[in-house]
Amino acid sequence: MVIDEPTEQASPNAAVKPANETASRSAASAPGELTIYVDGKFFPQSEAKVSVFDHGLLYGDGIFEGIRFYNGRVFRLEEHHDRLWDSARSICLDIPISKAEMTEALLETIRQNGLRDGYIRQIVTRGVGNLGLNPLQCKRPSIIIIAATISLYPEDVYRNGLTIVTCATRRTNAAALNPAVKSLNYLN
């Protein structure tokens, strides 16, 4: 897999190069089933598991990025990864792989699913620990990458638009819960 080499004229989007004819989906997913990346390995959707003791599940202790890709090109991947690493730093979470390794895993997840257009959800959790709140009990963060198609609204909404309502409720103060951190609790 190759990412476009940066040049002054280069697009900020990473290209997904198709797998060669002899490559097969390493997770051997059933037709219609996604292949999911979990902690360095690929699994069929039905076999991709997260521990019930993962602090991402227990406490929302983790971060995520949602990224679109169009025609085999990941939109502004570098900026999304910068934000993912910034979010991790904000909650004192060490991502256990490099940005280059994360990029390779992300692009391979897209390729494993045979997609040209879709949505990527990258998740980094604090990892498995006990029922206590001490993050030091979590030995290693977990990484999950899902690549799938996404439709946020029914097709007629894209054709005809929709009616919206604004709300006067104020958001939580950014000093209390920073909205720049894309945390799993998604509270702000």
Non-local CB neighbours of 35 within 8 Å, separated by 6+ positions: 25, 26, 27, 29, 42, 43, 44, 45, 109, 112, 113
**DSSP character string of 90-115:** HTT---SS-HHHHHHHHHHHHHHTT-
> 122 by DSSP, 3-state: which?
strand
Segment holding 120, helix H or strand E: strand 118-125
Which residue of the set 17, 99, 139, 182 is catalytic? 182
Neighbour count for residue 95 (Cβ, 10 Å):
19
Q: Please indicate whether residue 182 is annotated as part of the active site.
A: yes
Which residues belong to the active site?
182
